[in-house]
Each structure stands twice: as structure tokens, then as C-alpha cells.
């Protein structure tokens, strides 16, 4: 009965480095969502993926950010050339299907850019 | 863009008191979810309300969905210190013909502190 798993839980990167955040959805769930929570701000949608497909990336910054959900393995959110403004908590959620299905969140990855 | 506004932003009460948190929008939502988030953790789903006027109870928590499906409330009876946390309402963002786009839009949250 494992829930949504994310790793690492904490990640420290220097400016200019790359950050890779991983998310394994709940068993039986094939839809993955990434959200970002900045200090003093609410949760903001970034991207919605199904296996091998990006369904909606309307919340992703145009540059440096990318996401994938391969046929095998976890979903990955990749941030290239990180800047201090990327410091935030990144949450992954999963659902069984699209539409009205409820989303269940992982514990998050706290990214700190020094 | 569908927005959700929560009030109050902060709530500090004594153990045993009752409280209500509100979640309002000018848009109609097909459903609304309530989550609770503790520091350093992800949001935990408490409930989903779907039908206008619906009332759901979860022990001391009562959730209501407005008749017009534009607002919701969370009422906690006899608050306990374990209720302390960030309460978030969320709803599907962008609904066309009853089909959600999948992504959720969140309110800013209500930070509840219950003192012993």
C-alpha cells in the first residue's frame, strides 16, 4: 500500500547545476502531476503527464524545466542551470485516471539552491 | 483562470473551540477537495465534495459544498492540538463539458494553530 514516493526528500544544488527530482506514483495510478510550492505562496501546477506523454505543461517555465514519465521507471522533473529562485518544495501527485479522480500527493522534494 | 480564495489566512485558537474555514470562488467547480498539510510533508487528502449542497463529515470535521458549487467550508468542532496545520482547498482547473483538464488549482491556504 505504498503511497506516492519522491526522492530525494532534500536536494541542495549550487547555482548553474542540474536538479533531478523523481516521483513514483501510487500502485495502479498512471497519471502524474507536478506542483511547486514557493515560500509564502500556494501550490502551483506545473505539468501533467501520463506514461510517455505530456498532457499539459501550461505551468512549466519556458526554459530550463522539463519533465518526463517513461514507460518504465519514475517520473522525473529536471531543472537545468538552477538559480536561487528555483528554491522551493516540489510535490508530485498521482491519480488513477483523468477527470474527477482524486490526486494523492507525495512528501515532496525540498530544493535549495545556494 | 479559476481562482479559489480562502479565509481566514491565519487562525489561532484554544483547544476545544470551534472554527470554520472558507473557500470561495466566482467560478463553478465540478468538485472541490480539502487537504491538510503539515510542515515538511505533502498535502493529505481529507475529502472530496461533488454535489451542490453536499455535506460530508469526517469525525469532528464537517465539509460543505455550496449549492451553486462555487464555495465550500470546513468546520472543526472542539479543535485539538493535532488539528494544527495548513488547510488547503483545491478544485479542477478548467472544465469544459464536464471533463476536467486534470490539474488542480489551490487556494492560498489557512494556517491553523490550536493551542493547548
Q: What is the pLDDT of residues B15-52, one digit of tens each?
A: 999 999 999 999 999 899 999 999 999 999 999 999 99
Q: How far, in Å, CA of A74 to CA of A35, rounded?
A: 16
Q: How far, in Å, CA of A36 to CA of A27, rounded?
A: 23
Q: Distance from A32 to chain B by nearest Cα, in Å? A: 10
Check pLDDT > 60 for residue B97: no
Note whether B106 contacts A55, CB cutoff 8 Å: no
Instruction: With beta carbons under 8 A apart, name residues in chain B contacting A97.
Output: none
Check pLDDT > 80 for residue B59: yes
Mean pLDDT of B92-109: 72
Q: Which set of grid coordinates corresponds to residue B68?
A: 451553486
Which residue of A21, A100, A101, A109 to mutate against B (max B Cβ within 10 Å)? A100
Which residue of B99, B102, B104, B106 to mutate against A (max A Cβ within 10 Å)? B102
Give the per-residue pLDDT at B108.
Answer: 94
Instruction: With beta carbons under 8 A apart, name residues in chain B contacting A6.
Output: 42
Give the per-residue pLDDT at B92.
Answer: 87
Q: How far, in Å, CA of B37 to CA of A36, rounded?
A: 14
From first CA to last CA, the distance across chain B in angstroms is: 40
Starting from the edge strand earliest in sequence, which strands make up the sheet with A65-68, in order? A5-7, A19-24, A75-79, A65-68
Would you list which residues of chain A are within 8 Å, Cβ to Cβ, of chain B? Answer: 4, 6, 31, 33, 35, 41-45, 48, 55-56, 58-59, 91, 93, 95, 98-100, 102-108, 110
User: Is A3 in contact with A94 (CB distance < 8 Å)?
Assistant: no
The per-residue pLDDT for range A18-69, each reduced to its tens digit, is 999 999 999 989 899 999 998 777 899 999 999 999 999 999 999 999 999 9
Amino acid at each position: 500500500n505504498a503511497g506516492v514516493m519522491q526522492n530525494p526528500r532534500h536536494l541542495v544544488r549550487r547555482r548553474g547545476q542540474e536538479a533531478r527530482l523523481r516521483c513514483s506514483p501510487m500502485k495502479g495510478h498512471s497519471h502524474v502531476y507536478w506542483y511547486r510550492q514557493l515560500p509564502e505562496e500556494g501550490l502551483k501546477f506545473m505539468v501533467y503527464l501520463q506514461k510517455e506523454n505530456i498532457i499539459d505543461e501550461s505551468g512549466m517555465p519556458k526554459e530550463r524545466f522539463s519533465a518526463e514519465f517513461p514507460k518504465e521507471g519514475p517520473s522525473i522533473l529536471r531543472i537545468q542551470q538552477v538559480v536561487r529562485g528555483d528554491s522551493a518544495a516540489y510535490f508530485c501527485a498521482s491519480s488513477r485516471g483523468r477527470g474527477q479522480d482524486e490526486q494523492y500527493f507525495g512528501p515532496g522534494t525540498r530544493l535549495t539552491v545556494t | 483562470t479559476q481562482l479559489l480564495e480562502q479565509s481566514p489566512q491565519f487562525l489561532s485558537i484554544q483547544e476545544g473551540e470551534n472554527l470554520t474555514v472558507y473557500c470561495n470562488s466566482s467560478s463553478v467547480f465540478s468538485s472541490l477537495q480539502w487537504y491538510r498539510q503539515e510542515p515538511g510533508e505533502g498535502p493529505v487528502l481529507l475529502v472530496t465534495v461533488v454535489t451542490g449542497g453536499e455535506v460530508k463529515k469526517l469525525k469532528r470535521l464537517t465539509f460543505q459544498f455550496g449549492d451553486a458549487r462555487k464555495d465550500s467550508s470546513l468546520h472543526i468542532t472542539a479543535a485539538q492540538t493535532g488539528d494544527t496545520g495548513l488547510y488547503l482547498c483545491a478544485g479542477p482547473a478548467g472544465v469544459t463539458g464536464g471533463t476536467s483538464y486534470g490539474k488542480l488549482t489551490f487556494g492560498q491556504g489557512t494556517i491553523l494553530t490550536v493551542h493547548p
